[in-house]
Every structure is written in structure tokens, then in C-alpha cells.
Chain A
Amino acid sequence: MTDVTQPALTIDALGKKCPIPIIMLAEQINFVPLNAVVAVLADDPAAYTDVPAWCRLKSHRHVGSYELPEGGWAIHVRRNY
């Protein structure tokens, strides 16, 4: 986990099924400054694919997905605009 930008905001979507983690991300990404990173914590397997796909569709940047010790991932997204 070196070179990982410290997230400006962490969204806890653990235990929530898609599309809820994506809805939370879309609502909250504007709470952080431009170029800041939002971490989405999610354990629905769909989120692992859907957060990066959302970034592609919405022109934000998927920085990386990091496995959490308790299961699931911290999926990092950089706000582009």
C-alpha cells in the first residue's frame, strides 16, 4: 500500500449491495476538493467491477482497489472535475 494517497473521505459501504455503494459515491464525491481521493469500502463483489466502471463512465479516475483484512476492498477514486 505504498504510494497510496491518503483519502480525503472514506465512504463505508460495507454490507451494502450494488448499486448502493455507487449511489453513495456519486452523492459524496463532490464533498472533496478536486484531485482528492475518495475511498469506498465495499464487500459486495459487484462493487469491485462497478466502481471502476463508474469512474470510466463519469470520467473520474480509479486509483486502485486494495483488499481489506476483514474482507472486501478499499476502492480509491480521484475526483477529476
Chain B
Amino acid sequence: MGPVAYFDAASTEPLHPQAREALLTAIDAGWADPARLYNQARRAHLLLEQARAEVAEALGARPDEVVFASSGTQAVHLGMLGTLHGRRRAGRHLVASAVEHSSVLHAAQAHERDGGTAETVGVSLTGRVDLDAFTAAVAREGVALACLQTANHEVGTLQPVEEAAEACRRHGVPLFVDAAQTAGRLPVPAGWSVLAASAHKWGGPAGVGVLAVRKGTRFRSFVPEDERERRRVPGFENVPAVVAAAAALKAVRAEAEAEGARLSALVDRIRETVPKIVPDVEVIGEPVERAPHIVTFSCLYVDGEALLTELDRAGFAVSSGSSCTASTLRPSHVLEAMGVLTHGNVRVSLPRGASAAEVDRFLAVLPDVVRRIRKDAGVA
């Protein structure tokens, strides 16, 4: 088999070379307990605070608003539940778009188990939240928190975060923004109250989530507290990984505009070409208002698992929202909410450096792969 084209950046971006370099250096320099007062500890503390300042600057936050968690998912859970806890007196209702990441929906379920209420707001056929319905939902009495992602992780559609933030501001409701798919790739939209992101999505190491809580947002941790990370994330900080995450963010931001435009042109090529070379295919999501690196399509009459297996055999690492590829055997809640085909689904998400030659090779093998699977299923 030839080289594998890695097209699953939306799951995780390969480690950026500068993150790798920073990680190796920081493992030697930043291993000590940053909460202590001897020389090595002060050095670890300094590295941690420098990384915090860099990440804060990149996300449009103040350093004292930013804490590091052990994953993006943990940042989402702590951020949402901490804000809900802090706003208990204002109300117990949660509003979220129907296409949020599962970590947001899981936190919403935990909130409901705790006696709170939650509602999801529907999206268009392209996956964009219904802004009028979202605005109406946050205007009601007793809303403690609203949640909206910057871009959808499965279809790439950008959400109207700034408009939603304005609606939330008018009604005094904090807005939680999951920026995992765009942090480092696109500027963070204005107006968030609580922000979460994940370093391994921008080329940092696994195990670093970012949680930013705007000054003035009512917040009360719902987990046991210690003295770490402004009492918002308990447990010993992973200083080397945080340092590497900051280095990766700095590096990808420096190249984001040029690299984003390049990847976006490749995504355009896939969006335009696939319907011409594969019959009965639906390209999904916003064609223009989208993350630069994500494109999703569904092939009628095709089993998603067979498609992933065949593409893997042909040397392509891609992902799918089809039910047969999920451990739950349910189709992706994103595709369901959009009302688009859930079977035969392929998500291509291009990492930094993905080449035009790889995309061309993908487009060259795809028609035959789909034709073969359809033929095997008895589809004429």
C-alpha cells in the first residue's frame, strides 16, 4: 500500500513540529510542581503562565480568564456546568443548538439529571442554527445558559455566534461557545461569556483543553475545588503539554490565513467535483460560510462502514456520521437534525499541509469505490 492521506483533522490534527519541539524542551524544563516555591517549581510556573498569556491572547481573552483542563471535553463540561451552577438563582433552563458536539449534549443531560431543563434549537438543511428560534428561546424567563459552537464538527457550517451573542447580551444570558473546530484556524467571534477549545484540534498535544470565563460571568465550580487553575480545574497541571499547546497555537495562527485559504480551495474542489463524478451524492453543509478544512457528503445506497473500509484500503483516513460506523448504532445527531442523508456519509477534514495531489488522488479513486459498493449491494 502507498502512503496514507490523513483526512481526519476534525478528529485530531497531527502534532505540529513546533509543538513537538516545545514539548520535548518543556518535559525537561517544566516537570516540577508550578504551585511550589523552589527554583524548578518557579520555572514550571513561569512556563505555565507564559503559555496561558499566549493562549489568552490568541483567543481574545485575558490571561486571568483562561484555565487549562485535561481535554476539550472536560473544558466543555466544567464550563457549562460551572456556569449553570453559578446562575442557579437566575434560572435552570439551558438552550443549545441541536448540532452541538456530544460533550455539550452530555453536559446538558447531566444538567437535566440534576433537575434542570434543556432544549435544543433546530438548524437549517445546511446545519445553521435557526437564529430567530434561538433568540426567542434565550428571551424566555429562567434561561441560565445558551450554547453555540463556532463551526460544526461534522459538516463545517459556521454558526452565527456574534448575532446569537447579541441576543444573549440583550437578555442577560451568558453564551457558552465551543470553539474547538475553529480555534487557531479562524478568529474567535466576539461576544462569548464562556469559551472552550481543545489543543489537539489545532496541532497541540492531546490532553489540553482550554476554558475561558469572561470577567463578570457568574461561575461556580460544580466539582471539588483545589488551589489549581483558579479553582476551576482540580488536579496537577500538565505544564509540558500546555507549553506545547501554546507553541502550536502560535505557529498555526501565524500561517492560518494562507493555509486556511489553500485548504478551503481544496475543499471547494471536492465540493464541486464529487457531484460530477459520483451519481446520487449529496454534498452537505454551508458551501461558503464554513470552516476552511471540512467537507461532508453522503452517497445514496451506500453503506457507510463499507465506504470507510474501502477508502482506508485505498489509503485514505476519513470519518463518517453514518450509524453503522458509530458504537451506538445511531446515525449522527447532526445529520439527523439537518434532515440530510445519514447513510453513505463521508467527512473529509484536511490537516495542515494536505496536498492537492492527495485530494486529486482521492477524487480519482472515489467513483470506483462507490460504484463497487453499490454493485455489491445489488444497486443498478
Contact = CB atoms under 8 A, between A and B. Distances in A.
Q: Do A and B bind each other?
A: yes
Interface residues of B, number: 22
Given A18-B323, A46-B343, 12 more contacts: A17-B303, A18-B342, A19-B302, A26-B379, A45-B323, A46-B322, A46-B323, A48-B336, A49-B335, A50-B331, A50-B341, A52-B339
A46 B322 CA distance: 8
Contacts of A44: 323
Interface size class, chain A: 10 to 19
Contact of A57 (B280, B322, B323, B336): B280
Contacts of A49: 331, 335-336, 339-342
B378 interface: yes
B33 interface: no
Nearest to A45: B330
Given A18-B323, A44-B323, A50 B343 contact: yes
Contacts of A54: 300, 341
B301 interface: yes
16 contacts: A17-B323, A18-B303, A19-B303, A19-B377, A23-B379, A46-B330, A46-B343, A49-B335, A50-B341, A53-B282, A53-B340, A53-B342, A54-B300, A54-B341, A56-B339, A57-B300
A24 to B, nearest CB: 10
A56 B298 CA distance: 14
B300 A17 contact: no
A22 interface: yes
B174 interface: no
Contacts of A26: 300-301, 379
